[in-house]
Amino acid sequence: AVVAEYESTRPGFVFDEREVPPYRLPDPLRSRNGRRVRTPHQWRLRRQELLDDFRTHVYGRRPRPAERSRPRFELVESDPTALGGAATLKRVLVHTRHGSRSHRFEVILFVPNAVTGPAPVFLLLNNRGPENTDPTRATISPFWPAEQVVAAGYAIAALQVGDLAPDDPATFRDGIIGLYEDTATTRPRPADAWGALSAWAWGASRALDYFATDRDVDADRAVVVGHSRGGKAALWAGAEDERFAMTVSNDSGCGGAALSRRVFGETVARITDDFPHWFCRRFFRYGGAEDRLPVDQHELIALLAPRAVCVGSADEDLWSDPRGEFLSLAHASSVYGLWFHRGVRPSAMPPLDRPLRVPARSYHIRSGVHDLTAQDWGYYTGAADRLWR
């Protein structure tokens, strides 16, 4: 029934497993010079090659000053009686300057009062409107269940992706990107110039810079979380910034956890057409030519190794290709294997609502629609429990 529904609303796309054309994935352990990586030490170099390929061909490259920026933090509110006394609320402005230009965005944070010592922290890249992360809790949304996460012993934070780069092809440079380039010129941007996903991920790293200065949170146990387009950005944040100990991709789909070469649901051609501001311009040329991409998304998961990663799907969310999301995790196994972590077989996709857990990785497919729910969060805090308790 779900397949038929998709086929009627999105004709021309594949929603039936039997229609997926065959494909061959690149081997993450095969270096550019043809040598095979066999040790974590050799992986360090190979990892740089892959990171560079993703920057050049998919998400774009950040300008150097952006990578080196040192933000200033301004605590604008601190309330130790938040969430009925269970948490301390902090609102922090993150200020960045470059030349005569400046930018700022807000990070909101609830720290559990019951935890002694620095608490591990979940940071959501919120792509769904600030009411979902309401610090006053006048609106409580399962998309960011602060009460639940705090009760589990974790700090929970959020930033609004639109503060870093508006989610709009006409104005996406009006956030942090415009700090570092001249948006008035009509000259085309370089083919590898960063797009909105990279700008959102950059914001995650600046939030982490703040966590490193706050004694109430443990920046060595920081989790970056995102749903859908936010999940694409969360994966890229975890790849670009190895300080994130864990990365959570919820229903991230095409350009996120789902394999690009597996033509099922959303495709590279469609996503670059609909959301040209998310990726770098070079990515466009791979629409309909995915086999020419030097990388595929299992290698994005591999960039997280040996750190923790959780991939979540929803069974009615065919547009995101749940199976393709699972397969990325499975096909990253050879890289996790360098640390002797157990592999995930491509045939081992778990049944509905029964997470598959192996060291450093988890995958689940929730029954229901494209969303980030309390059930998903329960799996993610559960994964953190196994890692840190």
**Residues classed as catalytic:** 228, 370
Six-digit token string for 108: 């909101």
Residues at the interface with ligand GCU (CB under 6 A)? 127, 228-229, 253-254, 266, 271, 274, 319
Q: Cβ(333)–Cβ(302) under 8 Å?
A: no
Q: Minimum distance from CB of 271 to ligand GCU (Å)?
A: 5
Measured from the CB atom, the residue of 121 and 235 that comes closer to ligand GCU is 235
Please list the alpha-helical segments (H only) found in the chain: 2-9, 40-54, 64-68, 146-151, 161-164, 177-180, 196-211, 229-240, 268-274, 297-302, 322-331, 333-336, 374-388
Q: Cβ(58)–Cβ(121) under 8 Å?
A: no
Q: Cβ(244)–Cβ(376) under 8 Å?
A: no
Measured from the CB atom, the residue of 235 and 330 that comes closer to ligand GCU is 235
Measured from the CB atom, the residue of 172 and 336 that comes closer to ligand GCU is 172
Measured from the CB atom, the residue of 143 and 336 that comes closer to ligand GCU is 143
Angstrom distance (rounded) from CA 127 to CA 150? 21
Q: Minimum distance from CB of 256 to ligand GCU (Å)?
A: 7
Measured from the CB atom, the residue of 67 and 274 that comes closer to ligand GCU is 274
Strand-strand pairing, 356-358 and 308-314:
unpaired
Strand-strand pairing, 308-314 and 246-250:
parallel
Q: Minimum distance from CB of 202 to ligand GCU (Å)?
A: 18
Q: Minimum distance from CB of 308 to ligand GCU (Å)?
A: 22
Q: Minimum distance from CB of 143 to ligand GCU (Å)?
A: 12
Dihedral sign of CA atoms 294, 314, 351, 12 in order? negative
Measured from the CB atom, the residue of 69 and 250 that comes closer to ligand GCU is 250
Q: Minimum distance from CB of 110 to ligand GCU (Å)?
A: 25
Which residue number has the CB closest to ligand GCU? 228
Angstrom distance (rounded) from CA 277 to CA 209? 26
Measured from the CB atom, the residue of 159 and 271 that comes closer to ligand GCU is 271
CA distances from 107 to 66, 89, 215 (A): 18, 11, 16
Q: Cβ(137)–Cβ(110) under 8 Å?
A: no
Dihedral sign of CA atoms 274, 279, 282, 285 in order? negative
Helix axes 229-240, 40-54, angle to 10 degrees: 130
Q: Minimum distance from CB of 160 to ligand GCU (Å)?
A: 14
Across the beta sheet with 361-366, what order do the strands follow? Answer: 72-82, 87-98, 101-112, 155-160, 119-126, 217-227, 246-250, 308-314, 361-366, 356-358
